[in-house]
Amino acid sequence: MSNYAAAIRIRPQYPKALLALATIYNGSIDPRFQQPEKSLELAKKAEEFTGGRDAIVIGTLAEAYAANGMHAEANAAAHRALDVARINGQTNLVGMLEVRLKSIIEQYRP
C-alpha cells in the first residue's frame, strides 16, 4: 500500500496507482484500511486521468459511490462502465462487470 501512495506522491496523475489504492481503501477487510471517502476521491481522479474511457476505473468508481451511500451515482457509474466495456469491445470484461457491479449495488442497497 505504501508503494502506491509513494507512486502517487511522485506522479499524482498515475491512474494505475490511484486505482489500486482506491480498491484497497474500498475493499479491504482490515478496518484500518477501510476509507470509503478516500477511495471515492482516488477513483474520481483515476477516472479523470483516463478520460472516462477505462471500464475498470469506472467500475471501481461505482463501487466507491456505493460504499459512500451514493446509490444513484453508483448505478449510473455501473451502467457507464458496462457501456465503455462494450464500446471498447471488451466482451470478457462485460460479463465480469455485470456480476461484480450487480453484487456491489445489492450489497449497499438502502
User: Per residue in 30-66, pLDDT tens?
Assistant: 888 889 999 999 999 999 999 999 999 999 999 999 9
Name the percent of the chain lying above pLDDT 90: 50
pLDDT at 10: 83
Q: Is the pTM of this model over 0.75?
A: yes
The domain locations on the chain are: 2-107
Question: Alpha-carbon distance 94 to 40, whole Å?
Answer: 22
The 8-class DSSP code of residue 35 comes to -
2-107, what's its fold? 1.25.40
At which residue does the C-alpha cell 467500475 appear? 59
Question: Alpha-carbon distance 94 to 86, whole Å?
Answer: 7
The tens digit of pLDDT for each residue in 98-109 reads 888 777 767 766
pLDDT at 12: 76
51: left (phi over 0), alpha (psi -120 to 50) or beta: left
